Structure 1
Amino acid sequence: MTQVSVDIVSDVVCPWCWLGLRYWDQARALVPEIQTETVYRPFQLDGAVPREGVPYSDYMKKKFGDGPDDRFKMMREHLEQAGPAAGIKFRFSGIPVRPNTLDAHRVIRWAQGQDLGEAASERLHKAFFEEHLDIGDAAVLTRLAGEIGLETDIVGNLLASDRDRKEVLEEEQFFRRLGVQGVPCFIFNGQFAVSGAEAPEMLADAIRQAASLPQTDDDAD
């Protein structure tokens, strides 16, 4: 069976990323004859957010404004309409904290080492957008990690340390240097990229295209 390797660069506070991940799942089902290996890569939309986080509504108003041309309001309404078809119920109203996501990316990194990267990414998005949990909080992250099958004692101890902080930041910078400026970004076999939450059919076409290209040794690692 042909295999395609896909790096998905995303952030867990990015609603387009969650929508894109659901579209990705649908896209893979459209091409069952092609095996895909998905690797989740870190990208912080705003690494300057303090580790304790900031009030969500204040942060978004500062970022997008709250005037008559409120871009956040328009984006939110679009996502709330598009979400149900992908099995997502975005609940922007009431999100208490805009967290720093570095620790969340560390958890995804550890989960990926146990073949649980997809489960971790899905669980963290759901926790933030539907359940309004503070996914920058170590106790919350530890509990969520346990829900997907990671050892909570180990995760809690790792989060209390600086383990893999440097590695996550270096990995993020690697993809920024490649030219990734927005997420989600799907990189196929290290050869070409599709940016944004594109429709499943378009992502499926990208899988077919990647499968048809000569394989190289230049895939991101």
Structure 2
Amino acid sequence: MIVEIYSDLICPWCYIGKHRLERALSDRPRLPLERRWQPYELNPEMAPGGIDRVAYLATKFGGIERARQVYGVIEETAARDGIPLKLDGIRRTPNTLSAHRLVRLASRSGLADRMTNLLFDAYFVQSLDIGEQDVLLAKAAEAGLDPDMARDYLAGTADIAAIRATESVARQLGIQAVPCFIFNRRYALAGAQEPTAFMPLLDLAAEEVDAFTQRVTPPL
């Protein structure tokens, strides 16, 4: 079974949604599942160096007080799920293109899950700027990637076109917000839903996999 997870690494609901998917999967421990992290930049036109966090929130929410109200709800939700968000510590909203590229690079070594976890944690728990190359290189090494390879990769332009193409396809599919979870490229679940919301789709996708396996496996 394949689940494609469209998300942005600075989206708190994506971080919460990731945890909730993992909780759902803990109730299906024998379910074979491959997670594919797909890029979806919330701010594709963001300046390469990012923007001051206060200025960003004021523009996005129409004022800092409104931003505090919205983020208060997010923090309360995360706290109920046992997720230690530290939104007040974030100083800049970064451009996430390089972070998405790093996840893509990590996927070639089977390290996409670990890389994604490290980047979410870096931003939401450690209050690090995941648009900065030094931060990305440190997390790449922590994930197990070769530091020199990661440095050369980030210094170039590899996979930028592929990421833009993936985001374009996502919008053509009607994905307008993240997180969005697509199971076996047939069933979609949008938003940071409760773990129980994943169960019907997990079971349905598993039934399809079983049925396909039975069709293609010759009798003994």
After TM superposition, the score normalised by the length of structure 1 is 0.90
1:7 matches 2:4: yes
- Deviation of 1:73 (Å): 2.1
Does the CA contact (< 8 Å) of 1:186 and 1:193 recur in 2?
A: yes
- Deviation of 1:84 (Å): 2.9
Q: 1:67 to 1:59 in 2, by over 3 A?
A: closer
**Alignment of structure 1 residues 72-83 onto 2, 5 Å:** 72-83=67-78
State the SS of the aligned residue for 1:60: helix
**Alignment of structure 1 residues 180-195 onto 2, 5 Å:** 180-195=175-190
- Deviation of 1:78 (Å): 1.6
Inter-partner Cα distance in structure 1 for 2:145 and 2:86 = 27
1:149 matches 2:149: no
Inter-partner Cα distance in structure 2 for 1:73 and 1:11 = 20
Aligned partner letter, 2:10: V
RMSD: 1.4
1:18 matches 2:15: yes
Q: Pick from 27, 30, 37 the counterpart of residue 24 of structure 2.
A: 27
Inter-partner Cα distance in structure 2 for 1:124 and 1:86 = 19
- Deviation of 1:205 (Å): 2.2
1:49 corresponds in structure 2 to: 46
Identity %: 33
- Deviation of 1:67 (Å): 6.8
Aligned partner letter, 1:133: L
Bigger Cα Rg: 2
Inter-partner Cα distance in structure 2 for 1:67 and 1:100 = 21
2:123 corresponds in structure 1 to: 128
- Deviation of 1:119 (Å): 0.9
Does the CA contact (< 8 Å) of 1:104 and 1:136 recur in 2?
A: yes
Ranges of 4+ aligned residues in structure 1 off by more than 4 Å: none
State the SS of the aligned residue for 2:38: strand
State the SS of the aligned residue for 2:129: coil
After TM superposition, the score normalised by the length of structure 2 is 0.91
Q: Pick from 108, 111, 118 the counterpart of residue 106 of structure 2.
A: 111
1:89 corresponds in structure 2 to: 84
State the SS of the aligned residue for 1:187: strand
Aligned partner letter, 1:58: A
State the SS of the aligned residue for 1:38: strand
Does the CA contact (< 8 Å) of 1:139 and 1:156 recur in 2?
A: no
**Deviation digits for residues 143-167 of structure 1 (CA, Å, limit 9, x no counterpart):** 1110111111110111111111111
Query: Unaligned 5+ residue runs, structure 1?
Result: 216-221
State the SS of the aligned residue for 1:93: helix
Inter-partner Cα distance in structure 2 for 1:38 and 1:89 = 23
Query: Unaligned 5+ residue runs, structure 2?
Result: 213-220
- Deviation of 1:110 (Å): 0.7
Which stretch of structure 1 is more off in the superposition, 72-81 or 57-66?
Answer: 72-81
Does the CA contact (< 8 Å) of 2:101 and 2:163 recur in 1?
A: yes
Inter-partner Cα distance in structure 2 for 1:139 and 1:67 = 29
1:38 matches 2:35: yes
State the SS of the aligned residue for 1:44: coil
1:196 corresponds in structure 2 to: 191
Higher helix share goes to which structure? Answer: 2
Which stretch of structure 1 is more off in the superposition, 196-205 or 6-15?
Answer: 196-205
1:162 matches 2:157: yes
Inter-partner Cα distance in structure 2 for 1:85 and 1:23 = 12
2:200 corresponds in structure 1 to: 205
